[in-house]
Structure 1
Amino acid sequence: MKSLEKRSYAATGPRRLTVGLGALSFVLLASACSEPADEYEVPQALCGVEVPGDVLDPLLPEGEEVSERTKTASGVKRCYVSVDDKVALSTSIEWYEADTPIAEVAEKTIGADPNDKVTGDKRYSYSDKGGAGLIRCDDSSTIDKDVDGDLYTTVRVGGDDSADAAAVLKAIEAYTNAAPAAGECEVDL
Structure 2
Amino acid sequence: MSTARTSKPPSTASNPWKRVATLVITGLLLTSCWTQETRTYSIPKTLCGTEVPGALIDPFLAPGKTVSQELDDFGDRSGNYSFCRIRVDGKRVLSVINEWYPRDYNMARVASAPLGVRLSDHLSGDGSYTYAERGGVIRVQCHHPDTTWKRENGKLFVTVYSADPAPPSESAMKNLVTGYAKAVSASGECN
Structure 1 length normalisation: TM-score?
Answer: 0.78
The share of aligned pairs that are identical, in percent, is: 30
Cα distance in 2 between the residues matched to 1:8 and 1:86: 47
2:14 aligned partner: 11
Residue 51, structure 1, aligned to residue 56, structure 2: no
2:149 aligned partner: 146
1:21 aligned partner: 24
Task: Please give the per-residue CA displacement for 1:68-110, whole angstroms capped at 9, x wherever unaligned.
Answer: 1111226211221111112211112111222533233222223
SS of the counterpart of 1:91? strand
Q: Greater share of helix residues, 1 or 2?
A: 1
How far is the alpha carbon of 1:161 from its aligned partner? Answer: 5.4
| Equivalent residues of 2:118, 2:131 under 8 A apart | no
| Higher relative contact order (Cα pairs below 8 Å, separated by 6+ residues) | 1
How far is the alpha carbon of 1:178 from its aligned partner? Answer: 0.3
2:39 aligned partner: 38
| Equivalent residues of 1:157, 1:163 under 8 A apart | no
Count of residues in correspondence between the two structures: 176
Structure 1 residues 117 and 9 mapped into 2: Cα distance closer, same or farther (>3 Å)?
A: closer
Cα distance in 1 between the residues matched to 2:188 and 2:137: 19
Task: Please give the per-residue CA displacement for 1:111-130, whole angstroms capped at 9, x wherever unaligned.
Answer: 32343311122221101111
| Equivalent residues of 2:117, 2:137 under 8 A apart | no
- Correspondence for 2:135 among 122, 130, 136: 130
2:82 aligned partner: 77
Cα distance in 2 between the residues matched to 1:69 and 1:56: 16
SS of the counterpart of 2:96? strand
Letter in 2 for 1:88: V
2:111 aligned partner: 106
Letter in 1 for 2:28: S
Task: Please give the per-residue CA displacement for 1:134-186, whole angstroms capped at 9, x wherever unaligned.
Answer: 1112x34x442223021111111126553411111100011100002221215
How far is the alpha carbon of 1:38 from its aligned partner? Answer: 1.4
SS of the counterpart of 2:138? strand
Could you say what the CA RMSD is over the residues aligned between the two structures, in angstroms? 2.7
Structure 1 residues 21 and 45 mapped into 2: Cα distance closer, same or farther (>3 Å)?
A: same
- Correspondence for 1:157 among 162, 169, 179: 162
SS of the counterpart of 2:59? helix
Residue 62, structure 1, aligned to residue 63, structure 2: yes
| Equivalent residues of 1:79, 1:92 under 8 A apart | yes
